[in-house]
Amino acid sequence: MIDTTTALELVLKHGTLNTDFFEVDLKDALDYVVAKDVVSRIDMPPFRQSAMDGYALHVHDDFTYTVVGEVQAGDHNDPTLRKGEAVRIFTGAPVPTSANTVVMQERVTLDGNKIIVEGSPKVNMNIRPKAEQIKAGGIAIHKGTTIKGGHIGFLASLGLTKITVSKKPSVAIVVTGNELVAPGMPLSYGEIYESNGAMLRAVLNELGYKNTSVVTIRDDYDTTKNVLSDTLGKYDVVVVTGGVSVGDYDFVGKAFKAIGVQEIFYKVKQKPGKPLFFGKKEETSIFGLPGNPAAALSCFYIYVYPLLKKYEGAEHMNLPTISLPLLSDYTVKGTQAQFLKARIEGAGVRILGGQSSAMVQAFGDANALVCLPVNSMEIKKGQNVKTLLLPTK
């Protein structure tokens, strides 16, 4: 059985790196990964910009200046200031080429068409230099960046309306289990409601992956083989939940073999998610996740999400990670690596109750996963632990 580090390395090594890209309108670019460096066509700011409401002037030996005009934001004029002259100027307005400072209006006494400045103004105050943020030809956003709201603001400020982004992977979720009944239907003894499909689809959606499908199948070898065979050709990533444990009625592993899925690994020294399967067929990556919802979701965040980001060529493939002190002692059962639903609060991280593989409600309170290495045994309050940040809002 391999360890969690090796498992993630193998996923990222064998995961397909897609090379398809396309142009997207900036307004629709959220969550996409930039496929080519985005280059600015302009200096930003494009001119020396006043950072304050006040007076632009060329510093001379006297405290008094004559106000000879004004420049508002959006004005196109560039008045030439002679010695002892100033112009009224507003935030965002172009600072006249002949001025070398802007004095805040709070530091000025107005006397008719003259101003008296407090003390001797320093040169280059309250001026945002031309190209302070970026020069024309400079790289605004590097290839591999996942686009967030702030990036859209920055790119719009450079006048861009489209960017080139990587294609996102399509994801099929195949849910297996004779015990599963669709929500809304009546439940007989021995049956439970199917929840992995809806959950994984919602999480994929939350993370920006909209091209998804869910199929539910019974534990039947032929059906499993046929559905998987059909799905492999149509999707970039196939996530099967259930049917991968050691039980006699697990047809998934047999079906994988029969349709030519190459096993990269099966079983990882971890809890939850020991019977994790990862394989490839041509360019399609195939995960076999545990059927228990909480185990499936943990494995999704830790292994499937990085694979999706690799497909897109993202620089950061894992969820953001931070080392945080535990807020109370924790005793690990067993020797496997642990992924524990947790909540970041105050100045540390608290491991939540309800860690059983079947219990997904702890994910409601969770905003993090604490990752403990093998043989962790006793972790003391205050000890730092590796903490993955779940998508937060």
Q: Which of 150, 233, 333, 378 binds a copy of itself (CB under 8 A)?
A: 150
CB 62, min distance to a copy of itself, A? 25
Report whether 103 contacts 57 (CB < 8 A).
Answer: yes
| Binding flag, residue 323, a copy of itself (CB under 8 A) | yes
Q: With CB under 8 A as the contact rule, which of the stretches 58-66, 222-230, 315-323, 374-382 interacts with a copy of itself?
A: 315-323
333-352 positions binding a copy of itself, by CB under 8 A: 344-347
Amino acid at position 60, single letter: H
Q: Which two tokens stand for residue 65?
A: 């200046």
C-alpha span between 350 and 342 (Å, rounded): 5
Q: Which two tokens stand for residue 34?
A: 């930039």
C-alpha span between 159 and 155 (Å, rounded): 7
| Binding flag, residue 53, a copy of itself (CB under 8 A) | yes
Give the number of residues written for the chain: 393
| Binding flag, residue 139, a copy of itself (CB under 8 A) | no
C-alpha span between 393 and 388 (Å, rounded): 15
- By beta-carbon proximity to a copy of itself, the closer residue of 153 and 260 is 153
- By beta-carbon proximity to a copy of itself, the closer residue of 264 and 302 is 302
C-alpha span between 141 and 40 (Å, rounded): 9
CB 161, min distance to a copy of itself, A? 4
Which residues share a beta bridge with 90? Answer: none
| Binding flag, residue 136, a copy of itself (CB under 8 A) | no
DSSP letter for each residue of 47-85 = S-EESSSEEEE---SSSEEEEEEEE-TT----PPPPTTE
| Binding flag, residue 112, a copy of itself (CB under 8 A) | no
Q: With CB under 8 A as the contact rule, which of the stretches 9-17, 79-87, 230-238, 316-324 interacts with a copy of itself?
A: 316-324
Evaluate the omega torsion of the peptide bond into residue 272 and state whether it is cis, within 30 degrees of 0: yes
| Binding flag, residue 293, a copy of itself (CB under 8 A) | yes
- By beta-carbon proximity to a copy of itself, the closer residue of 155 and 337 is 155
| Binding flag, residue 246, a copy of itself (CB under 8 A) | yes
Look at residues 271, 308, 305, 275 and name the one whose alpha carbon lies nearest to residue 289: 275
Q: Which is it for the CA torsion 198, 201, 206, 207, positive or negative? A: positive
Count of residues engaged in binding a copy of itself, rule: CB under 8 A: 115
73: Cα separation from own chain's centroid: 36
160-199 positions binding a copy of itself, by CB under 8 A: 160-161, 177-181, 183-185, 187-199
Run of H or E residues at 162: strand 162-166
Site string for a copy of itself, 203-242 (x = CB under 8 A): x-xxxx---------xx-----------------------
CB 273, min distance to a copy of itself, A? 13
Q: Which two tokens stand for residue 143?
A: 């290839």
- By beta-carbon proximity to a copy of itself, the closer residue of 134 and 261 is 134
Q: With CB under 8 A as the contact rule, which of the stretches 3-11, 109-117, 133-141, 260-268 interacts with a copy of itself?
A: 133-141
Q: Which residues contact 45 (CB under 8 A, 6 or more apart)?
A: 128, 129, 130, 131, 132, 133
C-alpha span between 237 and 239 (Å, rounded): 7
| Binding flag, residue 116, a copy of itself (CB under 8 A) | no
| Binding flag, residue 80, a copy of itself (CB under 8 A) | no
Q: With CB under 8 A as the contact rule, which of the stretches 70-78, 117-125, 266-274, 277-285 interacts with a copy of itself?
A: 70-78
Q: Which of 291, 307, 317, 372 binds a copy of itself (CB under 8 A)?
A: 291
291 φ/ψ angles, rounded to the nearest 5 degrees: -75, -25
Look at residues 102, 107, 94, 101 and name the one whose alpha carbon lies nearest to residue 123: 101
- By beta-carbon proximity to a copy of itself, the closer residue of 3 and 31 is 31
Site string for a copy of itself, 248-287 (x = CB under 8 A): xx--------------------------------------
| Binding flag, residue 360, a copy of itself (CB under 8 A) | yes
Report whether 174 contacts 239 (CB < 8 A).
Answer: yes
Q: Which of 92, 144, 263, 318 binds a copy of itself (CB under 8 A)?
A: 92
Burial of 126 (0-12, 13-18, 19+ CB in 10 A): buried
CB 269, min distance to a copy of itself, A? 15
